[in-house]
Amino acid sequence: MTGFVEAARREKLAELVKRGVVPFAYRFDRTGSVRTALEGFREGDATAHRLAGRVVLLRPMGKTTFGHLEDRSGRVQIYFKVDVVGTEQYEVVKLLDLGDVIGVEGPLFRTKTGEVTLRVEHVTLLTKSLRPLPLGKEDAEGKRHGELSDPELRARQRYAHLAVDPDARERFQLRARVVSHIRKFFDARGYIEVETPVLQPLYGGATARPFKTRYEALDADFYLRIADELYLKRCIVGGLEKVYEIGHDFRNEGLSRFHNPEFTMVEWYEAYADYETVLQLTEELLAGMVRELFGTTTLERHGATLDFKRPFARKDYYALVKETAGVDLARASEHDLRAALQRKEVAEADTLSGGKLVDEVFKNYVEPTLVQPTFVLDYPVALSPLAKLKRDDPTRVERWELFIQKRELANAFSELNDPEEQRRRFEQQGRLRAAGDAEAQQLDEDFIRALEYGMPPTGGVGLGLDRLLMILADQPHIRDVILFPMLRPQ
């Protein structure tokens, strides 16, 4: 059936060319958007508007045709009448298909049913659509149903999804507004935006498996960065003092509702600050963002009422584990931790050890309880090779993670700036790598050398932009907030 429809469209294309119509135009000068035209409409105003967009509805009725024209800002009814556009142009209208991009010119008027409509005096074909868009069916209220119902197909053919779904277009415009808010927020506070290498001779700054590539000109292997952290800290050493980056990171991990191997992180570092300083800043950023974008600090998302009013909840890591799993991390053995995981029927419980065991207990017992915006503070030292020791407890570090809707959204440290201690932590990571932990961090001699020049006390944060958008846009899957997510090959 699809082949037949496409063949019919190509026949129309041939007929248009035969009539001397250019089916793929170079340019069309608009007087504005659909929205601005409709907002400026006044009864009796004969102003001619030049609008352009995609045809999403056509209802021919002999010598007249009604339709809908849609651009990024909205939709307007258009009205063609043979006596107005002329016989030659009306023949072009009869050769239009849904999905064609056209330009129209004429005044607005109100129909007998009360709908503001553009009376077309001139029509220009701008692009002939050779493949029918999955527009679905439109009901009596003008809502469409059935278009691209398969979530994977929506992600694979995002161009078609965006073309037929105004909500999807709005979602990605929301993403742009979030990024803009972040930039304005940090720029206003004296931060500077920097760019650090995506291709790195060593990867670091997180616990993850990297993507590896070959740089032929240097005859050397490089890695796609897994985090921006170590290079941003080099900027602090160099005296930039307040830096941030909005960039893509890459982790060679599986696909899931919350994981895409290419994702966007916002990281910021401030000299002479600690994890409490950046906690306050993070609260201010998110509470202000939600208020500016939605006009409130309370959002109904994923079946829960989320309150972004400051201050967010603060919880102690050890206390949460004891409360939910019944395990005292200050005294627990690996046997106790494995037993806790076995109660949750975690398949790999018997293969884990050390910090991995602690982390899995937290993920299985604590994370499912963290719905409201919550800072979890003071992690075990084994989980945090880049954070400073807690001032009154050397078994823990000054680290927090922010959780919303049962998922980690941001991670922050009082950054480790003692080069000798950093070397010891890297060496401990090296022993974990030798024991088979492919995600353990590498020893980075150049980063240690940077610390030896002296890095001021520093607080730093990394925030996952995609997961934040899942919450703000109320989407269940990370692929729904990434324009072109990673998908398995067809």
Q: What integer pLDDT is reported at residue 139 of this predicted model?
A: 62
* pLDDT digits 0-9 by tens, 302-351: 899 999 999 999 999 999 999 999 999 999 999 999 999 999 999 888 88
3-state secondary structure of 328: coil
Look up tokens 């000109």; give the residue.
217
Contact residues for 160 (Cβ-Cβ < 8 A; gap 6+): 133, 134, 148
What span, in angstroms and rounded, lies between the C-alpha atoms of 363 and 305? Answer: 22
Please state the pTM of the whole predicted model.
0.92
Q: What integer pLDDT is reported at residue 433 of this predicted model?
A: 86
> What counts of helices (H) and strands (E) characterise the chain?
15, 22
Exposure string (b/e) for 65-104, b if CB count within 10 Å is 16 or more?
A: bbbbbbbebbbbbbbbbbeebeeebbebbebbbbbbbbbb
Banded model confidence at residue 460, pLDDT cuts 50, 70, 90: very high
For every residue of 253-309, DSSP letters joined together read ---BTTB-SEEEEEEEEEET--HHHHHHHHHHHHHHHHHHHHSSSEEEETTEEEE-P
Question: Mean pLDDT score of the chain, rounded to an integer?
Answer: 94
Residue 366: DSSP 8-state: I
Structural domains of the chain ordered from first start: 2-132 (2.40.50.140), 167-312+372-481 (3.30.930.10)
For the cut 70, the answer to whether the pLDDT of residue 179 exceeds it is: yes
Secondary structure, 3-state, 229-251: HHHHHHHHHCCCCEEEEEEEEEC
Banded model confidence at residue 146, pLDDT cuts 50, 70, 90: low
Can you read off the two tokens belonging to residue 200?
A: 């790195």
* pLDDT digits 0-9 by tens, 260-311: 999 999 999 999 999 999 999 999 999 999 999 999 999 999 899 999 999 9
For the cut 90, the answer to whether the pLDDT of residue 39 exceeds it is: yes
Q: What integer pLDDT is reported at residue 21 of this predicted model?
A: 97
Average pLDDT over residues 156-181: 96
Cα atoms in the Cβ-side hemisphere of radius 13 Å centred on 183 = 10
Average pLDDT over residues 479-488: 95
Banded model confidence at residue 432, pLDDT cuts 50, 70, 90: confident
Opening angle at CA 114, ends 113 and 119, nearest 5:
95
For the cut 70, the answer to whether the pLDDT of residue 228 exceeds it is: yes
Average pLDDT over residues 94-98: 97
Q: What integer pLDDT is reported at residue 142 of this predicted model?
A: 56
Contact 426, 376 (CB under 8 A): no
Average pLDDT over residues 400-412: 97
Average pLDDT over residues 96-109: 97
Contact 377, 399 (CB under 8 A): yes
DSSP H or E stretch at residue 376: strand 374-380
Average pLDDT over residues 139-149: 63
Banded model confidence at residue 147, pLDDT cuts 50, 70, 90: low
Q: What integer pLDDT is reported at residue 108 of this predicted model?
A: 97
Q: What integer pLDDT is reported at residue 140 of this predicted model?
A: 60
For the cut 70, the answer to whether the pLDDT of residue 376 exceeds it is: yes
* pLDDT digits 0-9 by tens, 72-83: 999 999 999 999
Banded model confidence at residue 86, pLDDT cuts 50, 70, 90: very high
Q: What integer pLDDT is reported at residue 135 of this predicted model?
A: 81
Q: Residue 231: is it exposed, middle or buried by C-beta count within 10 angstroms (0-12/13-18/19+)?
A: buried
What span, in angstroms and rounded, lies between the C-alpha atoms of 153 and 148? Answer: 7
Q: What integer pLDDT is reported at residue 353 of this predicted model?
A: 86
Cα atoms in the Cβ-side hemisphere of radius 13 Å centred on 324 = 20
Q: What integer pLDDT is reported at residue 441 of this predicted model?
A: 87
